[in-house]
Structure 1
Amino acid sequence: MHTVRWTVPSTSVVSGRFELTEVEYARIAPLLPAMIPRRGVRWRDHRQVINGIVFRVGTGVPWRDVPARYGPWKTLYKRFARWQEDGTWARIEAMLQADADAAGDLDWHGKADSTIVRAHQHAAGARKGG
């Protein structure tokens, strides 16, 4: 188990609680796929979409309940799923993890025990009915 702490200089401007700062977005922007619009379709800005995804993940609301300021919920979901399939999220995680590890911000010695991770009574593998 590890913990990642993002440290952002105090000069960066935060737009909202679940929105990336200029510094945060600049760190991940090179890892995002190129924005190639399809004919007749205007592509949503990656930053707007990521902010919507961060809002959804941070709050746990259903995709349909993400505020309209982030764009259509279907766009958010499709890009989230596409980036999961093509490895974009994995590349972002690896880069942030490497940066945090180099800065000494990771705790690689985290522990969990049964008082933290509880299993359902049927997860023990006992046979049903006896």
Structure 2
Amino acid sequence: MAPHLAGKAGDVGRTGADNRLFLNAVFWLARHGCAWRGLPAHFGKHDTLRKRSRRWAHKGIWQRLFEAVQEPDLDWVMLDSTVVRAHAQAAGSRKKAASATKPSAAAAAG
């Protein structure tokens, strides 16, 4: 992910203090669903983090990150259930028991 992030050495402007800490703060927000003000103090000033997130949005960094971590398009691998047949046992049917010979009613009577 590092090549897609802003604020690394060599970029114009100030180098980001800790991209990992910033991303952890964003993930914490997403997981807990609270406002920026609800961030724990160990992530840093909530207003600074909010501004950094907005700058990343305007620069398209979030979009680049999402595109970098997306799974490849696997539509061509999808199988249609009309083509695939499962074995009867896969559907939960019981296996037929070994041919157990039951005496017929006539043999049992006589």
The TM-score with structure 2 as length reference comes to 0.57
1:49-97 CA-to-partner distances (Å, cap 9, x unmatched) read 1111111122111111101111110121011111111000000111111
Percent identity, aligned pairs only, is 31
From 81, 91, 97, the counterpart of 2:64: 91
| CA–CA distance in structure 2, aligned partners of residues 48 and 66 of structure 1 | 12
Partner secondary structure for residue 52 of structure 1: helix
Partner secondary structure for residue 34 of structure 1: coil
Moved over 6 A (4+): none
Unpaired stretches in structure 2, ≥5 consecutive residues: 79-110
Query: 2:72 is matched with which residue?
Result: 101
8 Å contact kept, 1:31–1:91 = yes
Aligned residue identity for 1:76: L
8 Å contact kept, 2:4–2:61 = yes
**Structure having greater relative contact order (Cα 8 Å, sep ≥ 6):** 1
Query: 2:107 is matched with which residue?
Result: none
Higher gyration radius (CA) = 2
The TM-score with structure 1 as length reference comes to 0.49
RMSD over equivalenced CA pairs, Å? 2.1
Query: 2:102 is matched with which residue?
Result: none
Query: 2:28 is matched with which residue?
Result: 55
8 Å contact kept, 1:56–1:62 = yes
Q: Between Structure 1 and Structure 2, how many residues are aligned?
A: 71
- How much has 1:44 moved relative to structure 2? 3.0
Unpaired stretches in structure 1, ≥5 consecutive residues: 1-27, 109-130
Q: Within the alignment, does 1:75 sit opposite 2:52 as a pair?
A: no
